[in-house]
Chains A and B, each alone.
Chain A
Amino acid sequence: MKRALSLVLIAALFAGINAGLYVTITRRLKNNFSGANQLRMVDVGRFLPHNEESDLARVNSSFHLEPGDDLPVLDGAAALVPVYASVIDNCYPEGTVTFEGGVFDDDNKYGENFAEDSVMQYQNTIRGFTAVVDGRTDLFFTAHPSAEQMQYAQEQGVELVMVPVGMEAFVFFVNTDNPVDGLTSDEIRAIYRNGITNWSQVGGPDRMINPVTRISGSGSQTMMERFMDGDMLDRRHPLAIFGGAIGYSFRYYLTGLVGNDNVKMLSVDGVYPDAENIRNGSYPLTTYFYVVYRADNTNPNVTRIVDWLLSPEGQEMIEQSGYVGVPDLNT
């Protein structure tokens, strides 16, 4: 009887361990087991141009391209889909975007769900940047490219023009139940250098910090590496995975595109990243986002679109898209 009981107890012990892992970790990874899922969170179908139901900024543009024009192909980072989709909606003729939908999978992880001849593409930061360097995309909307991406352009002998067309905040976020509402820049850097490892060191409860990072080459990871001056942790404490997590992203991606109510943005150096604090420059992690094109691109409509983006109409479209316009242009 004791032996049978011991077998049952051993089975129960393992079951308990696995149940604990499931509740604390596995459950949170549900349906998120491939890189493709990171992109799935942006429903491109919500932002298709020339569709009344699309969630786009419409400004009654006075600038229009015609069907016979050489129409630039637009692509961009996930967080900027609403912006460049709105450009097409405001300035391009109808019938130039062919969305094929389809199922995201590991062979289609960058959302290659637009027809080849569509003026709108969605390959996200890493592949999209390569596309503009290689000449397959005319205008690419992105946060500041990474050093590796700029080096790739240099290696290809391609000179790029980067024009800032709007502003965005780089934000840190935690679960809404985490009692910490803000951190200083130094505290964040210490967290991502393993100098601060417990929430109690920054005014929170006694719980290990799990500093989550992004994939290399993504817009937010590039921004984070700049913020950290290249000095960032290589490895977390193995048990940090059980801790309270902190992550980073761009404000609009977090609040506008994903819109998850169970996470909250943190104030940085006492300033919350709302539109007003981005506009007036008080939020310390404000950055431009850019439209990038090849300097040798001979399509005259490329610069016409850039000029329109910098015009009051273009800047209004960017504001209506949920971003902040370039302040110098508005004064």
Chain B
Amino acid sequence: MSDRTYLKALTFMLIVCTVLTLVHMGYIVYAYRNSSIIYYISQEIWP
């Protein structure tokens, strides 16, 4: 893999992964504000 190809692939992957993660986090913020607190707490995981 050439340097140019690697940099392209790396940049592409970082952008895609970052955008997807930000979308996921944005959804969490939106959904968390409006969710049922009883359901939210009932699904909590305790070790």
Contacts and interface: CB of A to CB of B under 8 A. Distances in A.
Contacts of A26: 24, 27-28, 31
A32 B42 contact: no
A35 B34 CA distance: 5
A33 B30 contact: yes
A29 B41 contact: no
Given A3-B1, A21-B28, A32-B31, A247 B38 contact: yes
B21 to A, nearest CB: 6
Contacts, number: 109
Interface string B5-45: 01001100110011011001101101110111111111111
Interface in A1-59: 3-4, 6-7, 10-11, 14, 17-18, 21-29, 32-35, 37-38, 41
Contact of B38 (A11, A14, A17, A254): A254
Nearest to B1: A3
A214 interface: yes
Given A10-B13, A10-B14, A14-B21, A247 B32 contact: no
Nearest to A24: B45
Question: Which of A33, A35, A173 has most B Cβ within 10 Å?
Answer: A33
> Chain B binding site: helix, strand, loop or mixed by DSSP?
helix
Given A10-B17, A11-B13, A17-B21, A34 B39 contact: no
B39 A41 contact: yes
What is the interface residue range for chain B against chain A? Answer: 20 to 34
Interface of B: 1, 6, 9-10, 13-14, 17-18, 20-21, 24-25, 27-28, 30-32, 34-46
A32 B36 CA distance: 6
Given A29-B31, A177-B44, A244-B44, A41 B38 contact: yes
Contact of A21 (B14, B24, B35): B24
A241 B44 CA distance: 11
B20 A18 contact: yes
Contact of A28 (B9, B27, B34, B44): B44
Contact of B39 (A32, A177, A241): A32
Contacts of B30: 33
A261 B42 CA distance: 8
Given A10-B14, A14-B17, A26-B27, A263 B32 contact: no
A273 B14 CA distance: 52
Contacts of B43: 27-28, 262
